[in-house]
């Protein structure tokens, strides 16, 4: 968020009314039943900022990320990149978009081809972009490895020769190979040992600041989000429950779901005793969502009117958005 006289950063990515439904059940077409993985998500990602997307498993946050990098197509809604609808990109403009927007995947063990050497894994984007000759690509790959804390001596090795943290550094180097402007980082530290998570997070923050990247950081961990992100959006069952500047949301959450997530973060001060908010029941099936507010079946503050029309994401305070009838 901009402060003082600093101008507000321009939006690099604008998501409006994004929906993604998956057919499920018997038959070729799922018997008419749908998983509503993403339903009406709207979000703005400014230039040179890190926006966090946080929520429990199954909230739809990874689906949003995969739509942004065009690994899957949305059911509805729009994604604009620098003002251009990405669904209309073709030919050279589509190739340029794929170069500018890259993804760091969650699992460094499955996201790297075990049969290929590091040089080929990281250099694939350069080869696809027509960067050549081979010697020039090799030099660029070595530079990217240096940026993430590895070196040219790792070029000819295979993924199985590295630790989990090193493999994720290779994944980051691959994402940076084509000099992108925007990175989708999908739970990039959740599969790593706790001892190396902080190293990778600090690396991502350093690279973001050094290269001026915009980033969508997807996680289930609000403590990580608070450390890394300028702004955040909280997702539940395919919808955004709350959004705003990270410190503002964490210090004064408006939505009951955000308050419950924050209450689960251990305090670094042993003398501090906080009341843990225990959510009742299980997460509803995305095939059969509750009427009205999708969170109402687990909400400790739910009232009868919450079963009516689903609340929209509205600006309740300057720069603070929440989808709740009660706040």
Query: Residue 104: pLDDT above 70?
Result: yes
Termini Cα distance of the chain: 23
Range of the domain at 166: 11-322
Query: Residue 297: pLDDT above 60?
Result: yes
Question: Is 99 contained in some domain?
Answer: yes
Query: Residue 102: pLDDT above 80?
Result: yes
Q: How many CB atoms lie within 10 A of CB 160?
A: 9
Query: Residue 221: pLDDT above 70?
Result: yes
Distance (Å, rounded) from C-alpha 164 to C-alpha 172?
12
pLDDT classification of 278: cutoffs 50, 70, 90: confident
Average pLDDT for the chain: 90
Question: Is 5 contained in some domain?
Answer: no
Question: Is 1 contained in some domain?
Answer: no
Q: Per residue in 115-174, pLDDT tens?
A: 999 999 999 888 877 677 788 888 999 999 999 999 999 999 999 999 999 999 999 999
Q: Which pLDDT belongs to residue 162? A: 95
Question: Is 199 contained in some domain?
Answer: yes
Distance (Å, rounded) from C-alpha 224 to C-alpha 228?
6
Q: Which pLDDT belongs to residue 279? A: 85
pLDDT classification of 275: cutoffs 50, 70, 90: confident
Distance (Å, rounded) from C-alpha 8 to C-alpha 131?
35
CB 154 within 8 Å of CB 145:
yes
Q: Per residue in 222-264, pLDDT tens?
A: 888 988 999 999 999 999 999 999 999 999 999 999 999 998 8
Question: Is 4 contained in some domain?
Answer: no
Question: Is 310 contained in some domain?
Answer: yes
E strand segments, 156-247:
182-186, 214-219, 231-236, 239-245
Structurally, the chain folds into a number of domains equal to 1
For the domain that residue 223 is a member of, what is the CATH number?
3.40.50.300
Question: Is 297 contained in some domain?
Answer: yes
pTM metric for this prediction: 0.91
Q: Which pLDDT belongs to residue 2? A: 43
Question: Is 327 contained in some domain?
Answer: no
CA count, 13 A, side-chain hemisphere, 85: 9
Q: CB-based contacts of 12: which residues, under 8 Å, 6+ apart?
A: 45, 46, 47, 81, 82, 181, 182, 214
Q: How many CB atoms lie within 10 A of CB 308?
A: 12
CB 39 within 8 Å of CB 239:
yes
Q: Which pLDDT belongs to residue 3? A: 43
């Amino acid at each position: 968020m901009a402060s003082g006289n600093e101008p507000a950063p321009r939006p690099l990515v604008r998501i409006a009314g994004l929906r993604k439904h998956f057919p499920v059940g018997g038959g070729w077409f799922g018997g008419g039943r749908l998983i509503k993985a993403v339903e009406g998500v709207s979000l703005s990602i400014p230039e040179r900022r890190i926006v966090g997307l946080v929520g429990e498993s199954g909230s739809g946050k990874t689906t949003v990320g995969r739509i942004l990098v065009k690994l899957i197509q949305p059911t509805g809604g729009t994604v604009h990149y620098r003002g251009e609808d990405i669904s209309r990109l073709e030919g050279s403009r589509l190739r340029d978009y794929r170069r500018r927007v890259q993804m760091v995947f969650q699992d460094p063990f499955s996201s790297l081809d075990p049969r290929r050497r590091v040089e080929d894994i990281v250099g694939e984007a350069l080869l696809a972009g027509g960067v050549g000759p081979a010697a020039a690509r090799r030099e660029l790959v070595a530079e990217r490895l240096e940026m993430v804390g590895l070196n040219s001596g790792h070029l000819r090795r295979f993924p199985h020769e590295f630790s989990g943290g090193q493999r994720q550094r290779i994944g980051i180097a691959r994402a940076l190979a084509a000099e992108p402007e925007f990175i989708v980082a999908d739970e990039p530290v959740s599969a790593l040992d706790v001892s190396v998570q902080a190293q990778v997070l600090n690396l991502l923050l350093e690279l973001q600041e050094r290269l001026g990247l915009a980033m969508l950081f997807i996680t289930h961990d609000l403590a990580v989000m608070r450390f890394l992100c300028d702004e955040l959006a909280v997702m539940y069952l395919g919808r955004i429950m709350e959004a705003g500047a990270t410190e503002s949301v964490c210090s004064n959450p408006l939505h009951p779901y955000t308050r419950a997530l924050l209450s689960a973060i251990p305090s670094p001060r042993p003398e501090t005793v906080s009341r843990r908010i225990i959510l009742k029941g299980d997460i509803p099936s995305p095939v059969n969502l509750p009427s009205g507010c999708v969170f109402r079946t687990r909400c400790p503050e739910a009232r009868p009117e919450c079963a009516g029309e689903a609340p929209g994401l509205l600006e309740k305070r300057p720069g603070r958005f929440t989808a709740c009838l009660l706040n």
